[in-house]
Amino acid sequence: MMIDYKVNIQIDTKDLKQLYSSVKWFAYTHDLETLQKAINNSLLVITAWNDDQLVGLIRVVGDGYTILYIQDILVHPDFQNKNIGTKLMTMTLTKYKNIRQKVLLTEEAPNVRHFYEKFGFVSGDKGSTVAFYKES
């Protein structure tokens, strides 16, 4: 299997729907027009492709100088545990290595925690920071 990584390309809505649905992120797929706009207006989007199938994606928002926020990182279940997520994260962190503040918000799960900790992220409950968020 050869995975091809692409940076900031136009992604067809049907491909986005398939990938986001595969990981059950239905809050995004209920409004595909908004998802497409969010993707198009992100600071960075790196995609992973197996031939013509979108199998992974990382999406970053921020200013590109002082802060970046990793909004989405997802890999199709059939392609998980094949280092695709690791490659997407590594490409992103390498591109923005000089940015001091890198932030993400995710669900609590042991494997999720381990994934981010291996990249040097510290959970707010373990460090000296506190995180706040508000959903509409």
Domain total of the chain: 1
- Show the tokens assigned to 37: 């706009």
- Show the tokens assigned to 5: 């990584």
- Flag whether 122 is in a domain: no
pTM above 0.85, yes or no: yes
Q: Which residue has the tokens 């409004």?
A: 31
- Flag whether 95 is in a domain: yes
- Flag whether 43 is in a domain: yes
pLDDT tens track for 80-119: 999 999 999 999 999 999 999 998 887 777 678 888 889 8
Nearest alpha-carbon partner for 72 in 80, 62, 61, 83: 61
pLDDT tens track for 9-61: 999 999 999 999 999 999 999 999 999 999 999 999 999 999 999 999 999 99
CATH number of residue 35's parent domain: 3.40.630.30
Helical residues (DSSP H) of the chain, grouped into ranges = 13-22, 26-29, 32-40, 84-95, 110-117
DSSP secondary structure code for residue 78 in this structure = G
